[in-house]
Structure 1
Amino acid sequence: MLKVTGTTMPGTFSLLPTTVSAAAGDGEKEADAPLNRDELSLYTAPQQKFRYVEPEAGRMEQSVATLRKLVEPYTGWCRGSYDKVKPKVQSVVQCGNDAYSYLKKPPKDFYPRAGIIGFTGILGLFLARGSKIKKLVYPAALMTVSASLYYPEQAAAIAKTTSDSVYDCTVQGYAAVENMLKTQSEGAKEEPGEH
């Protein structure tokens, strides 16, 4: 049994200092020493020391961990490839979106010009009978000529970029052939001296 003294209003119990007397439940005499509110187990919880214990990994978790370790080199390679391919794919998708929006609202006389350019390609296939190389060159050349007649600014820009890239490839090819010939001539000069 607990006896609380010194309060007149129950709402002020938590605000005012109070004296609490504890009585034994077996019928013993009440203890004369008053207890503080903090000493009662009702108001304070015993301090517990918690310790985190890592659960043991099950068979499934071990299998997944083993699989991750086996696949890890390949995921790094795939991530690197993805990072290289992603901008190219995005540019192709953007080009497709641009082409769709262009064809949705084409400029004046677009379809007749596209028809004439397509017709010159078919004419190139008709003129290139016999040879497989002619079947590749004639239609492409005739379509390029007819497209450059209708779109001269774009043709000039494409020709400039193409000529720059062809020049770069030619210079790289020339340097590669020069290095190859140089290594062959050095190898031929060293062989007679060794015997």
Structure 2
Amino acid sequence: MFRVIQRSMRPAGLSLFTFKVYATPKKDSPPKNFMEVDELSRYSAPEGQLKYMEESRSPLEESISLEPYTSWCQKTYFQSKPKMQSLVQWGLGVIGFAGLIGLLLARGSKIKKPVYLPGFTGLAASLYYPQQAIVFAQVSGERLYDWGLRGYIIIEDLWKENLQKSGDVKNSPGTK
């Protein structure tokens, strides 16, 4: 077994060694003239100065060009961007104001504070973000239904246990 591993490891081990090879010209061969890199035609610099000239567009390229449409879209975007930013800020202001109104209306009540504040804020936010409000309502509705169902099951179990215990007390053999 050791010989098999040793023989299979030898070629792989040889690939890890590095060898230096020194080559010398034969003494009786004539000296060669080497060419410089600049002398090669592939590396020679072209004569004269180059100028970039853009090709003129064909009638087909002119008819397909999207440049007027893209410039119109950019112009419209940059004109509407400040208006949209102010609208978003105004909407956030309305949402915050609705939260403050809920806080003021819930003054003095420990029950109204957790109801009015998120209620008014959520109502104002749902006006500006209707899709997210719908998703939130669906998920919240499902969770509330699940919690209600769990609560109903727990109350039913407690009710049955109390009825059975009270029934056991009445029907016990020591009492009449």
TM-score normalised over the length of structure 2: 0.47
RCO higher in structure (CA 8 A, sep ≥6): 2
Identify, as 1 or 2, the structure richer in strand. 1
TM-score normalised over the length of structure 1: 0.42
